[in-house]
Structure 1
């Protein structure tokens, strides 16, 4: 006979209500209890009857993640963390790339008939399109939308990056920004300015380079930096994403510039690639998988009728020191 939830409860030594909570709202039970339930599920071969549950609860069984660029490796761990939580709770993770998806199609995806909830990773979406189902925002956020946010303090993280360069002795410090209007890019730029101003320095126009988080824009910033007077250009450069940092380093090294001998470079995110380039990149590490897990748990609470508080949940970052930063030349 098909295993039932009561069979899982018997094997795990808990109540059926505890099994239900462990599978649908894992944050409400202890890690030890959840492990017992998952072991019992595997042992009994129990499977949620998702079709029956969704029909009974008038749900689709799907959660949609809206991602601004699926080609960006930054999002892989976040999506993995989301799926890690949603799967055991019986929800399918659907993903749409907002950069290439038609806006009208996105509106259709955000309907209750297509998805039970949204996890939004794109801060450039219109708020009015995201109010039809429960929403949680992760990493980026839509300022006009009142919904829970799981993110880092980007301004403080940028200040940490600048503090590292200054501790090494750099006083001419440049910044490659993200796209104009992007909430992450603006916060990181603000943190950069604040950290410099506190030390009596400023980020002038010649030391602020355009960017859009891509490899190509990092390379373009490097070309601008290379054309500047070697005695005046920044000896340390903080880039608002690791991809841009890789593009910047690759181009200056092709032109005979040593990293970090001639210029120190620090990125942001800690994507997997950067520990394996030469030199390995110093960066600000975001807890990307944990961001995904917490966003999914917040959404599950809302879907199960729990409290949908709109306060921010801030996660800590870490400065990861590698070989791309050092004391400035002739310091």
Structure 2
């Protein structure tokens, strides 16, 4: 089947080739000395073509500058090679890092991306974004940064692969791929680090309750305290921004006099440190702080931040590799994979004041 295209060359070896005539599969077949059908099978990625023929055809394609038309090829293969992404909170460090890694993997594997960003946490808006991507003929859906959607699962058809980048799936599919950080265990580790330094308790500044990651980090913190038989203090809450961390820390200093605080992300932790210093106190001599994410700036603060490092690029690449394998017909045996976060100990944690 001959395909339309946009690239034009003049092949001087063929006297019948008029200038600027589009290069076709016929030209490639003639140059490689094979049938047009064989060229079509190679171009469309079909198996069972001898390696020697495949190499010869690719060489002819390079020499002639042939470019298959993607739309025409999709009619033959019924493949769009397009993946849809629904992004929540894409301006934040974590989600934006995930999107960048997803784009890199998709481009390297020859997939185009359609990205839709939702403005609210409304389940109907998120489902509408999924439906709009399905209307574009995407072969896979990526849900970035899971939110609690009122207990209602998203609807994704069985013939479209689905991946959630996070710790918990969002769709109604049993074969939904879930790849993300083990945030519960990371929060256990962060809180345990502060308790091991001798702090009698650890307070917590949490993110918005609608975010799965916020709840998992809060639950890990609570579990660490309960595991040591300690009373669980009331949670202070922010919205991921430095300003909200500043305000939450002011409240804690006024009401609870904490010596150690686990903060659900680095941006709020930076705000919390500013509030401590504005109150005439020092980090970590008076209050120890652990953040979460390991922002680029965390290492270069005037007091470098102890934090939990998430490997955003790692789990985005792992997830995309699994999604593309599923699209290609070889899904992984395990649909869920959580990547450990690591504790990066810097200068914002120490023993409590007046410790022996």
Q: TM-score, normalised by structure 1?
A: 0.78
Alpha-carbon shift at residue 273 of structure 1 (Å): 2.3
Q: Which residue of 2 aligns with 1:186?
A: 215
Q: Which residue of 2 aligns with 1:27?
A: none
Question: Is the contact made by 1:193 and 1:202 (CA closer than 8 Å) also made in structure 2?
Answer: no
Q: Which residue of 1 aligns with 2:144?
A: 121
The reply on whether 1:282 has 2:309 as its aligned counterpart is no
Q: Which residue of 2 aligns with 1:141?
A: 168
Alpha-carbon shift at residue 130 of structure 1 (Å): 3.5
The reply on whether 1:86 has 2:101 as its aligned counterpart is no
Higher RCO (CA-CA < 8 Å; seq separation 6+): 1
Q: Which residue of 2 aligns with 1:150?
A: 179
- Cα distance in 1 for partners of 2:331, 2:253 equals 53
The reply on whether 1:109 has 2:132 as its aligned counterpart is yes
Alpha-carbon shift at residue 143 of structure 1 (Å): 5.0
Alpha-carbon shift at residue 96 of structure 1 (Å): 2.2
Question: Is the contact made by 2:183 and 2:213 (CA closer than 8 Å) also made in structure 1?
Answer: yes
Question: Is the contact made by 1:66 and 1:122 (CA closer than 8 Å) also made in structure 2?
Answer: no
Residue 99 of structure 1 aligns to a residue in which SS? Answer: coil
Q: Which runs of 5+ in 2 are unaligned?
A: 1-10, 12-22, 30-38, 47-54
Structure 1, 245-254 or 313-322: larger mean CA deviation: 245-254
State which of 267, 274, 277 in structure 2 corresponds to 1:243.
Answer: 267
Residue 108 of structure 2 aligns to a residue in which SS? Answer: coil
Structure 1's 292 and 107: CA in aligned 2 closer, same or farther, altered over 3 A? closer
State which of 88, 91, 101 in structure 2 corresponds to 1:68.
Answer: 88
- Cα distance in 1 for partners of 2:238, 2:163 equals 27
Question: Is the contact made by 2:98 and 2:144 (CA closer than 8 Å) also made in structure 1?
Answer: no
State which of 126, 141, 159 in structure 1 corresponds to 2:188.
Answer: 159
Question: Is the contact made by 2:114 and 2:133 (CA closer than 8 Å) also made in structure 1?
Answer: no
Residue 238 of structure 1 aligns to a residue in which SS? Answer: strand
Structure 1's 174 and 90: CA in aligned 2 closer, same or farther, altered over 3 A? same
- Cα distance in 2 for partners of 1:187, 1:312 equals 16
Question: Is the contact made by 1:150 and 1:294 (CA closer than 8 Å) also made in structure 2?
Answer: yes
Alpha-carbon shift at residue 265 of structure 1 (Å): 0.7
Structure 1's 260 and 130: CA in aligned 2 closer, same or farther, altered over 3 A? farther
Alpha-carbon shift at residue 309 of structure 1 (Å): 4.8
- Cα distance in 2 for partners of 1:311, 1:105 equals 25
- Cα distance in 2 for partners of 1:55, 1:273 equals 48
